[in-house]
A = this chain, B = another copy of it.
Amino acid sequence: MHDCDAIVIGAGLSGLAAARALEAGGADVRVLEARDRVGGRTLNESVGERPEDVVEVGGQWVGPTQHQVMGLIGELGIETYATHSEGQSLFEGPNGKLTRYSGTIPRMNPLVLADYGRADAKFKRMAKSLDPAAPWEHPDADRLDGQTVADWIRRTAKTRTGRETLALTIRVVLSVEPAEMSMLHWLFYAAAGGWDDLLDTEGGAQQDRIVGGSQLISLKMAEQLGDRVTLSSPVSSVRVEDDGVVAGGQRARRVIVALPPALAGTIDYEPALPSARAQLTQRVPMGSVIKCMALYDEPFWRQDGLSGIATSLPGPAQVVFDNTPPNGTPGVLMAFLEGRDARILGSAPEAERRAAVIGTFARLFGERAASPSGYIEKDWSAEPYSRGCYAGVPTPGTWTAYGRALREPVGPVHWAGTETATRWMGYFDGAIQAGRRAAGEVLAAEGAASTDAAPAATA
């Protein structure tokens, strides 16, 4: 009658974690993946001959307090190494002035630093009172969800550079412009991850990298799941019937949709989804980011006492990291084009975009940076099975109007994906938490169903 107990749509971290948890709970599972690979928004690219000579064109970092992903990594026998941060970092000010600094705080004009610091401290006080499992229950939720971060920054920071630095922070952490996001979502994001940590390498969300590349987590999970994972199988419809669901030609008792809401919304559901769910999926667009890397024979900036970490207000590459693989070659400088910059340069020819990124590297790290031996880039908005990165960002007014529909199952249809996480939303850790939570819902419901069915069967 059923081909399996549960279908999981999407073989990213969340879907694979869900499938593993279902298997561990004794359920027979099938994972259907649209792409010809697993890993979703993680993707390795080889830059050398050794297995660890890889860079990631998608998500890459892990950090402290991310217990779900750190535990999983350990279980799968994967190793991590510290993100390179030795040496001095660079800050390029609004007028192109370049300064070196140590630690996490750039050497800025003291007035600007004080201005930024006041706004940041005010924001952190506000974030403390928010429950990331139910942002809509915050006593001031309506007002906060009706104010954009752009508006708040404009009214809170007094200096132009302070405002620009706050906007840069939003852009690099959330890959949208401050105008697109409500204060409530920013507070949620900070409360779910711990805002202090989000910006840092050592001790923060960018602390560690994965030997062999972050896609390895998904590759290893898929290996364990074996032929339960089917690639190149986009699911265009989910049909709910009396005794279960049909999706991608498979029949099962339940289905977990492990996709971001924007992609979950492209599936045809039968019967139609309840209004609240149908509207929610139209209101969590993906962020805009192009990840760019330049390759060099060696990480030459390290010899100049530089960490490779840089922040540039003029941009367009506003944040830069040393992304050299663990063996030390090739040297890799990596930059994100985010929000506004991803949009403007995403429409430009590849050569122009490359010139803009390499140009920023040369301003920051000198002439040697102007002649890389290779260049790699990935525009996630142009990927039909992602439509953007890092994550979906609820638009203003969405948390308060539709937040309750984010995780609420619709009959036998359950929702995973990092966007449904209550801890580290938007990160690997949140993806895994969400997958496991959805698997738990399925196991509990089917357990209850078996128990309910038992007396009838023996009657």
Q: Given A146-B151, A151-B146, A236-B236, do A275 and B343 touch, yes or no (CB 8 Å)? A: yes
Q: Given A150-B146, A151-B146, do A396 and B179 touch, yes or no (CB 8 Å)? A: yes
Those of A125-179 within 8 Å (CB) of chain B: 142-143, 145-148, 150-151, 154, 176-179
Contact with B along A279-291 (1 / 0, CB 8 A): 1001101101000
CB contacts (< 8 Å) of A282 on chain B: these are: 262, 282, 285-286, 387-388
Contact with B along A365-407 (1 / 0, CB 8 A): 0000000000000010111100110000001111011100000
Cross-chain contact of A179 among B234, B262, B384, B397 (Cβ < 8 A): B397
Whether A71 sits at the interface, judged by CB under 8 Å, is: no
Do A381 and B278 have beta carbons less than 8 Å apart? yes
CB contacts (< 8 Å) of A444 on chain B: these are: none
Do B382 and A275 have beta carbons less than 8 Å apart? yes
Do B276 and A180 have beta carbons less than 8 Å apart? no
CB contacts (< 8 Å) of A176 on chain B: these are: 397
CB contacts (< 8 Å) of A272 on chain B: these are: 382-384
Closest residue to A382 on the B side, CB-wise?
A: B275
Among listed A222-230, A263-271, A306-314, interface-contacting one: A263-271
Q: How many copies does the complex hold?
A: 2
Whether A54 sits at the interface, judged by CB under 8 Å, is: no
Contact with B along A44-86 (1 / 0, CB 8 A): 0000000000000000000000000000000000000000000
Do A180 and B275 have beta carbons less than 8 Å apart? no
What is the bound-complex CA distance between A395 and B393, given in angstroms? 12
Do A387 and B178 have beta carbons less than 8 Å apart? no
Whether A37 sits at the interface, judged by CB under 8 Å, is: no
Whether A342 sits at the interface, judged by CB under 8 Å, is: yes
Contact with B along A231-248 (1 / 0, CB 8 A): 000101000000000000
Whether A95 sits at the interface, judged by CB under 8 Å, is: no
Q: Given A150-B397, A283-B395, do A342 and B275 touch, yes or no (CB 8 Å)? A: yes
What is the bound-complex CA distance between A272 and B275, given in angstroms? 29
CB contacts (< 8 Å) of A455 on chain B: these are: none
Whether A274 sits at the interface, judged by CB under 8 Å, is: yes
Q: Closest CB-CB distance, A238 to chain B, in whole Å?
A: 12
Do A346 and B268 have beta carbons less than 8 Å apart? no
Whether A347 sits at the interface, judged by CB under 8 Å, is: yes
Cross-chain contact of A269 among B143, B145, B279, B384 (Cβ < 8 A): B384
CB contacts (< 8 Å) of A124 on chain B: these are: none
What is the bound-complex CA distance between A283 and B176, given in angstroms? 12
Whether A340 sits at the interface, judged by CB under 8 Å, is: yes
CB contacts (< 8 Å) of A269 on chain B: these are: 384
Contact with B along A281-322 (1 / 0, CB 8 A): 011011010000000000000000000000000000000000
The contact sample of 14 A-B pairs, CB cut-off 8 A, is: A143-B154, A146-B177, A150-B397, A177-B401, A180-B401, A265-B266, A269-B384, A272-B384, A276-B343, A279-B288, A282-B282, A285-B395, A340-B401, A395-B395
Excluding A146-B151, A147-B148, A234-B268, 12 further A-B contacts by CB distance (< 8 Å) are A147-B150, A148-B151, A148-B397, A180-B396, A180-B398, A180-B401, A266-B266, A274-B382, A275-B346, A276-B343, A279-B387, A396-B396
